[in-house]
Amino acid sequence: MPHRTRLFFVGTGPGAIGLVTKRALWVLKRADIVIYGRFINPNLLFYANKKARYISACNDEEAIFSELSKLNGNRDVAWLTIGDPIFFSKHNRRMEKFAKLTNLEIEIIPGVTSALAASTYSGILVSKPSCTDAVTISVGKKVATGKANCPKKSDSPTVIFFLALDCLKELTEKLFKAGWQKSDACAIIENGTTQNRTVFGRLSKIADLTDINEISEPALFVCGQEVSSKNRFGWFEKKPLFSKKIVVTRPMPEGLDTVDKLEELGADILYLPVVNIVRLPYDIDSIDYDLIVFTSAKSVSCFFDNIKQSGIYADRIGSIACVGKKTAAALGNYHLKADIIPDDFSAKALTDRLLAEGIKGKRILIPGSEMMNPAMSLRLREAGASVKLLYLYRPEKNSIQWSSLIEKKIENWGNVDYLMLTSGFIAKETANFFENKQFLVKKSSKTVAISKNVGRISKRLGFKNILVSEEATEESMIKKILDDIK
């Protein structure tokens, strides 16, 4: 029996990456083809199979149907949707259509519905026993046009509507006829688990308030006594970076850790790894040096991963110097410790420290990027050391198939509160990454540079309001943002 292609309809939840299920990520990481819509969080796509082909669901659906109907063999396709695939989703119709294809096996991956998650992030306890004993979830457009019955207040004191923005005035009129009062509390929630803009009001005024605040989809409309501010449990808005719009440019996979940390602090994050790290082939038959100098955690991992494969024992290393605590911590993964760490975490400070200790006649190895600054090696050689540079990796401009999705979200943001830059090369690539040159230079209100040198380069490129972190670490950059907000 021939293998059939598996088509997964994957619920990705209400927006926040932390609310995506483990099963959804498992499917995404192995999918050969990934289909996504315009409301999908673009950060999620960085968790996908690197070799996957990406298709925008905004394309002709008939063309997608035709392509999938011709697939054969053992392949996986992930069709992503926000929320849950069957809960008021277009996927219900698609499932019936694609189920007729004999070459496909269909599986459904449930997702957290925004009907509950967005309300919860806004502090609205929709099923609080003291306020309600029933909750109705409906589609605003269908109720407004008469294609679905309008929930009566006497039957359901709490009502949640999807797709209501384009018909709010008509919808509220239907609610009044169903027993709701003009003074009843309600709210519109935009991007509930990411940026979370919530507009509270009364039914008689909510349509006007939505226009004034320029709320757009995806959004949720909630009505009921529990929507009153007196009943709210506002936990999400108390997070230190609540609603701050931040772009992270750190390369993969470390950049995804930064995204997680910032999301946990309440920020709305866009991941834009403008640079891809390419490991370079190299041969090393000996590490018989007096000193090995590491200027980044990446150089540590690249170096020792190769050493393990070469069968060379790390205990033959003399002394080790690291540019900072983060780089030194990376040594712990290989059961090693740094002998020298400068007080000021910079290449210049490390060079000053080495010169002060005396390096004349010593054999020094500096593993690192093909684009590493030559200033350190030049100064060490001038002081009488024998220095060898070992190129482990090369940063290259990254090609992101869904970059238009990222650009569109930035456009919807209006501006970027903080842009994080971790190297001069990344700063240069970020400045001209999109077809609309200088797009991020113009959109970024403040720029957080990992070092003074990166700050100087960023300023020359036109980035505004440069904030330089105290230490050349991700943690220090995040602390700089937190301090700036206070």
> Does the pLDDT value for residue 313 go beyond 70?
no
For residue 315, what pLDDT is reported? Answer: 58
Q: Are 182 and 202 in contact (CB under 8 A)?
A: yes
The CATH number assigned to the domain with range 5-112 reads 3.40.1010.10
Share of the chain above pLDDT 90, in %: 70
Looking at the domain covering 288-396, what would its CATH class be? Answer: alpha beta
Compute the average pLDDT of residues 425-451.
95
For residue 59, what pLDDT is reported? Answer: 67
Residues 455 and 449: their CA atoms lie apart, in Å, by 5
Cis peptide before 218 (omega within 30 of 0): yes
Q: How many CB atoms lie within 10 A of CB 96?
A: 10
The number of helices, as runs of H, and strands, as runs of E, in the chain is 17, 20
DSSP alpha helix (H) spans, 244-364: 254-264, 297-310, 325-331, 347-357
> Does the pLDDT value for residue 22 go beyond 90?
yes
DSSP structure class, residue 358: -
Name the E strands within 87-141. 104-109, 135-139
> Does the pLDDT value for residue 179 go beyond 90?
yes
The CATH number assigned to the domain with range 115-238 reads 3.30.950.10
Poorest-pLDDT segment among 52-56, 132-136, 161-165: 132-136
> Does the pLDDT value for residue 2 go beyond 70?
no
pTM for this prediction: 0.89
Q: Report which secondary-structure segment, H or E, holds 320.
A: strand 319-322
Q: Are 393 and 280 in contact (CB under 8 A)?
A: yes
For residue 314, what pLDDT is reported? Answer: 57
- At residue 378 the predicted structure's pLDDT band, cuts being 50, 70 and 90, is very high
Determine phi and psi for 196, rounding to 5 degrees.
Answer: 50, 85
Structure tokens at 368: 């690192």
The CATH number assigned to the domain with range 245-274+398-485 reads 3.40.50.10090
Across the beta sheet with 158-162, the strand order is 135-139, 158-162, 219-224, 185-190, 197-202
Q: Are 468 and 449 in contact (CB under 8 A)?
A: yes
Indicate the domain borders of the chain. Answer: 5-112, 115-238, 245-274+398-485, 288-396
- Sorted by sequence, the CB contacts under 8 Å of residue 142 that are 6+ apart come out as 148
Q: How many CB atoms lie within 10 A of CB 68?
A: 20
For residue 1, what pLDDT is reported? Answer: 41
For residue 308, what pLDDT is reported? Answer: 64
For residue 57, what pLDDT is reported? Answer: 85
Residues 445 and 418: their CA atoms lie apart, in Å, by 6
Distance separating the N- and C-terminal Cα atoms of the chain: 64
Compute the average pLDDT of residues 161-172.
94
Determine phi and psi for 420, rounding to 5 degrees.
Answer: -100, 125
Name the E strands within 338-434. 363-369, 386-397, 416-421
Domains 115-238 and 245-274+398-485 belong to one CATH topology: no
- At residue 325 the predicted structure's pLDDT band, cuts being 50, 70 and 90, is confident
- Per residue in 51-84, pLDDT (tens digit) is 999 999 876 788 888 888 888 888 899 999 999 9
Compute the average pLDDT of residues 340-363.
90
